């Protein structure tokens, strides 16, 4: 969505929307902190089940990316010009209500938490903040470079295929790590 927004509406609108999407990650961080922290405190068995489901979800995402035929194309979005603030809040809302992002956070963040290192909630919150910060940087850059980068990607479908393969391999590795670690 950030790429399409940047390509069709320009850099500033792509950046505004991308920063909003990144900030939307904080809502998922809060939910993950509250839910996973409570789950760890209440039941190690339930947390193990959550890790297993999360790991399977990451494996599914990875396999889908590996099976992708690539050739990603970015279409021009047809929409009226909106103020930057409107696009920013649209990005926040779009990410905040996305159930896939929520599931990703619940599956992804816990595998980097070490309960023996202290407050699980604080560790999850810091990981979520770091993730949000790097998302803001990446989405901002994606919005900035969307025009030329999107055109380049449209002209090089094999690059899209390789990007899918790399992302898929990472998701499979993270899913397996989540499933097999204690």
Predicted confidence (pLDDT) per residue in 92-103, tens digit: 988 887 767 777
pTM score, two decimals? 0.66
Q: How confident is the model at residue 117 (pLDDT cuts 50, 70, 90)?
A: very high
Q: Please count the residues of the chain.
A: 182
Asked if residue 168 has pLDDT above 80, the reply is yes
Q: How confident is the model at residue 65 (pLDDT cuts 50, 70, 90)?
A: confident
Mean pLDDT of 148-158: 69
Q: 69: which 2 tokens? A: 């035929």
Mean pLDDT of 6-19: 85
What lies within 8 Å, CB to CB, of 102 at 6+ separation is 28, 31, 32
List all residues 6 or more positions away from 55 whose beta carbon is below 8 Å from its beta carbon. 107, 174, 175, 176, 177, 178, 179
The pair of structure tokens assigned to 122 is: 């604080």
Mean local confidence (pLDDT), 62-75:
70
Predicted pLDDT of residue 2: 80
pLDDT (mean) for 42-62: 79
């Amino acid at each position: 969505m950030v790429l399409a927004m940047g390509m069709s509406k320009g850099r500033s609108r792509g950046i505004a929307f991308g920063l909003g999407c990144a900030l939307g990650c904080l809502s998922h961080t809060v939910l993950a902190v509250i839910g996973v922290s409570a789950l760890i405190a209440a039941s190690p068995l339930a947390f193990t089940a959550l890790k297993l489901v999360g790991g399977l979800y990451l494996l599914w995402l990875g396999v889908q990316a590996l099976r992708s035929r690539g050739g990603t194309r970015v279409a021009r979005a047809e929409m009226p010009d909106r103020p930057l603030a409107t696009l920013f809040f649209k990005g926040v809302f779009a990410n905040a209500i996305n159930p896939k992002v929520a599931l990703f956070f619940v599956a992804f963040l816990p595998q980097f938490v070490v309960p023996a290192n202290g407050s699980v909630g604080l560790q999850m919150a810091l990981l979520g903040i770091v993730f949000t910060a790097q998302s803001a940087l990446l989405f901002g850059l994606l919005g900035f470079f969307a025009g030329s980068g999107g055109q380049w990607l449209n002209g090089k479908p094999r690059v899209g295929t390789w990007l899918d393969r790399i992302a898929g391999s990472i998701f499979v590795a993270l899913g397996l790590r989540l499933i097999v670690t204690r």
